[in-house]
Chains A and B, each alone.
Chain A
Amino acid sequence: MKPITRRSFLRRAAGTTITAAMAPTLTSCISDITQAPKTGYFESEFGITDSMCRKVLAEALSKGGDFADLYFEHTISNWVILEDGKVNQAYCDVSLGVGIRTVKGDQVGYGFTQELTAKSMMAAASTAATIAAASPNEPAGEFVETKFKNHYPMEKLLTSVPFESRLPIVQNTNDKCFALSPLIVKVNAGLNDEQKRIMVVTSDGRKAEDLLPRGYLYASVVAEKDGKRERASWNLGGRRDFSYYSPTVVNEVAQEAVDRVLILFEAVQPPAGEIPVVLGPGVTGILLHEAIGHGMEADFNRKGISTYSTMIDRKVAEPFVTIIDDGTNLKLSGSLNVDDEATPGQKTVLVENGILRSYMHDKISAKHYKVKPTGNGRRESYQHYVIPRMRNTYMLPGPATPEEVIKTAKNGIYVQNVSNGQVKIGEGDFAFYVSQGQMIEDGKLTAPIKDINIMGNGPKMLKNVTMVANDLQMYQGGAGMCGKNGQGVPVGFGLPTALVKSMTVGGTKA
């Protein structure tokens, strides 16, 4: 197979954009103002009443906590998996419980139980209460429901979709992969869907219920050519209902997975060292998430751990760089109607025209900084307490065209797909694995590259972003999970084509 040319890459990207018209890009990400999910689920299914919540909150504040909240969760997850040509594995998980948190200043007491009985909840509340040691406080007399917009409306509950409807989607993905190339020797495909119901009740009188769908369709393919084997994968998903997984989506998942594996047979490794790096649009936004986003989570800054701790209102990038963290994108993985502390979903400008404007806050950090919470208080499940987390993080488009950016880089690498990113918050140092990309030689895209690491320093990289193109793409996958303090939460990200004037590229050639 010939190396991918810039023109063919753009054609393929255009194809992606057509599908993305159904799977919205940022320009169509302004949410419908649809009705919020119906409330009352935990009362009707598990008998959780306001008066019961008040008693449990009173117990959580019985030793003098400033604030307490209850987080009820009922999640049903399904996986349907194909191996060796048949949809022959299925897994299901049901997760039910309530987490009880007591906050005293910046201190947190936490207990949880899987039994939604008054006795079990009071015991968990009693554990949480021990963080404080003072006179009891009283919770609010009544709870007012938090109003919010619905950023992931569903026509049909995932739990009401017949199980067997999932099977042909996965089978067709497999068949399509094999049909696309005789070099494909193995396909693993699968469909994951998850329906999470939550209810947050707070001692300051707030109550919020939400219904969060999430899922993705994936294909992982192995190809064989001249005795060599390569592997690649692709997925599409987000907070979508079942109707999303149309034949068009099946075709795109298969096409992307197969295209991405075939190009690897031609891949070379670039020389190691410091060179210009062009980040392609879309999935490379994960680099923005890791290298820069984590350092702007307020808990790291409140504790002085982050390299960004002293940078609020300082210039951190060129004026054409604006970075957003957003819970309001329509049906993306990181979208949130309401966060896990009952703060409505919202959009937060982190860097505005090159100036660091805000961290991402939960209630504890917002109180510390004397600002309003930004809706970034998140947790993996009822078994975890809230910490500030990203939602959908992206950079706004700049004035250049992608072609101008590549031409300006002159000699370097073009990064098309990255994974396994990690950052050291205090130093800002990060590393990413480039699973797919191309060499840039004399301002043109040439040979494909693979299996290299790129390293840098977040604040330095941000300053070194010297060009941003006008082609912002949001990642449309559903498998993006971010890990922090042992908690995984779904996130989204996006990026326009951007030039970083210098980064370290790892390789085997000195």
Chain B
Amino acid sequence: MNKQMHDLAVWSIEKAKAAGADDCRVSINSRRFVEISYRERKPETIKEASTRNLYIEIYADNRYSGQSTSDLRQDELKDFISNAVTTTKLLAEDPFRTLPEPKYYQGRADIELGIRDADYEKLTPESRHALVKAIEDTSLAKGGEKVISVTASQYDTCGESITITSNGFEGYREYTQYSAGAGITLQDEGDRRPNGYHYVTCVKKDNIPSAEQIGTIAAQRTLDLLGGKKIPTETLPVIIENRVVPRLLGGLLSPMNGGNIQQKRSFLADKKGQKIASDELTLIDDPFIVGGLGSRLYDGDGFATKKRVMIESGVLKEFFIDWYYSRKLECEPTTGGSSNIIIPPGERTVKDIMKDLGRGIFVTGFIGGNSNSTTGDASVGIIGHLFENGQPTQAIAEMNIADNHLKFWHKLVEVANDPWIYSSQRTPSLVFTDVVVSGA
């Protein structure tokens, strides 16, 4: 526990209460980060800084506001908090706005989440530069003669946050995060210059793959885009690559949120206990994965976190409902948002699945598009390639898939065995049949 941050949070609560707040929650976040990128075998950017921010939520006379500042000079902060309380009292009453009942704070798991790398301080400017240089070298070498530009980069951060409420909650966490990767541009036919990339993010430096591996994959993913063009509109099987599944899944997670349900913006509001997807879809919210990018012992309300099965064999089991919307909806709260999202992996590799499917589209990226949480209608541009006889035959561009989520997820026929571990959403590749792929 950082005593200085703790003392500032306690002091802020005292000042808010002295100014007339009934209750409040204070969060202070502090972090240091370093960002380095290379291009043309020299540093393109070097960026390094520390930030600190205070966020205070005021509950006064059944009214509520949230206020944040990076100006932590004590006199300024005192005025800021006093003004925050005054402002709050000018709003309309909202009887649903209270701090949670303290019973929800209880039962915090006694697990070491492993979200801080003990070796973070051992990082040196030299080791950072060496990693980025090596990624650039490999990307250039593997990209070959068609390379126009390579930008290799790394980012690391080490931070801590504390949250204290006036009704007895205290939470503190320290974390680290590393990202590394490369973006590559190649010369294609005519004026086309495909941009590809590969980035990974981890809690621990040792879990970052080698620079050679990162550069090789970045180059291969970009080479795979060469010759991209649209094919005629057709109904085909589609495999969505593991790393881009979260974009698709977002259209299903958003309407599971309590705010969208209470505000009548959810096409899933009346679907709890019903089948909304094929048997292949099980979706778990697991806050306890060691080294998970979304791992946590308490959520934004201070609730002790729990592992939850949200969708089981296609049946919608739970919603993400925070304290405020649980009161509005008159139901038990769960948690306000996801931690680590898990889709249990299947048995087979994407390669094996492709062989069986024969002909279809392997989607490796999305572009533009949207998903309407009120109606479930979704439409999104796709990037990837056509495969025939189980082998990639043609990169595709300017194509699209569209459907309603309530129909689309019933078309899920298989889950591959390749969860993408460099995200809080550890999703494997997913296989759908009978998808209309729009093109020429």
Contacts and interface: CB of A to CB of B under 8 A. Distances in A.
Interface of A: 83-84, 86-97, 106-114, 124, 127-128, 130-131, 163-164, 167, 185-186, 188, 222, 224, 228-231, 269, 272-274, 303-311, 383, 385, 419-433, 435, 450-453, 455-457, 459, 504-510
A424 B264 contact: no
Given A127-B49, A305-B148, A426-B185, A453 B88 contact: no
Interface stretch (B39-47, B310-318, B355-363, B416-424): B39-47
Nearest to A131: B46
B180 interface: no
B59 to A, nearest CB: 12
Contacts of B225: 427
Residue with the greatest number of chain B CB neighbours at <10 A, chosen from A90, A124, A309, A385: A90
A304 B379 contact: no
B69 interface: yes
B233 interface: yes
B220 interface: no
A507 B402 CA distance: 5
Contact of B398 (A112, A222, A504): A504
Given A97-B70, A506-B402, A455 B368 contact: yes
A231 B125 CA distance: 51
Contact of A431 (B65, B195, B263, B380): B380
B112 interface: no
Given A91-B65, A91-B67, A94-B68, A433 B228 contact: no
Contacts, number: 263
Given A456-B398, A505-B400, 6 more contacts: A91-B68, A92-B66, A106-B44, A272-B400, A424-B195, A425-B193
A225 to B, nearest CB: 12
Contact of A91 (B49, B66, B370, B398): B66
B113 interface: no
B368 A451 contact: no
Contacts of B440: 273-274, 504
Contact of A113 (B49, B228, B328): B49
Contacts of A124: 49
A453 B380 contact: yes
B49 A304 contact: no
Contact of A222 (B84, B374, B402, B436): B374
A127 B46 CA distance: 8
Contacts of A427: 188, 192-195, 225, 228, 397
Contacts of A428: 191-192
7 contacts: A89-B64, A89-B91, A109-B47, A131-B45, A231-B374, A383-B51, A457-B398
Interface stretch (B7-15, B92-100, B330-338, B342-350): B92-100
Nearest to B47: A110
B372 interface: yes
B167 interface: no
Interface string B425-440: 0000000000010111
A508 to B, nearest CB: 5
Contacts of B267: 229
A88 B193 contact: no
A510 B435 CA distance: 9
- State the majority secondary structure of interface residues on A: strand
A92 B68 contact: yes
Given A222-B374, A456-B398, A433 B379 contact: yes
Nearest to A102: B46
A276 B343 CA distance: 41
B401 interface: yes
B87 A506 contact: no
Contacts of B71: 94, 96, 114
B391 interface: no
Contacts of A506: 369, 379-381, 400-402, 438
Interface in B195-230: 195, 225, 228, 230
B381 A164 contact: no
B403 interface: yes
B370 A420 contact: yes
B375 interface: yes
A167 B87 CA distance: 11
A167 B65 CA distance: 14
B174 interface: no
A431 B368 contact: yes
A453 B379 contact: yes
A273 B438 contact: yes
Interface string B398-416: 1111111000000000000
Contacts of A426: 185-186, 192-195
Interface string B224-257: 0100101001110000000000000000000000
A273 B46 contact: no
The 8 nearest A-B residue pairs measured at CB: A431-B368, A506-B400, A431-B381, A426-B193, A272-B438, A86-B92, A433-B370, A88-B94
B91 A93 contact: no
B149 interface: yes
Contacts of A453: 368-370, 379-381, 400, 402
B116 interface: no
B80 interface: yes
Residue with the greatest number of chain B CB neighbours at <10 A, chosen from A164, A303, A310: A303
Contacts of B398: 429, 455-457, 504
Residue with the greatest number of chain A CB neighbours at <10 A, chosen from B91, B188, B377: B91
B264 A110 contact: no
A90 B89 CA distance: 10
Contacts of B141: none
B41 to A, nearest CB: 12
A94 B84 CA distance: 12
Given A93-B68, A432-B368, A510 B402 contact: no
B6 interface: no
A84 B403 CA distance: 31
Nearest to B54: A94
Contacts of B192: 307, 426-428
Contacts of A97: 70
A422 B45 contact: no
Contact of B69 (A93, A452, A459): A93
Contacts of B402: 269, 272, 451-453, 506-508
B65 A90 contact: yes
A504 B229 CA distance: 12
Residue with the greatest number of chain A CB neighbours at <10 A, chosen from B264, B400, B440: B400
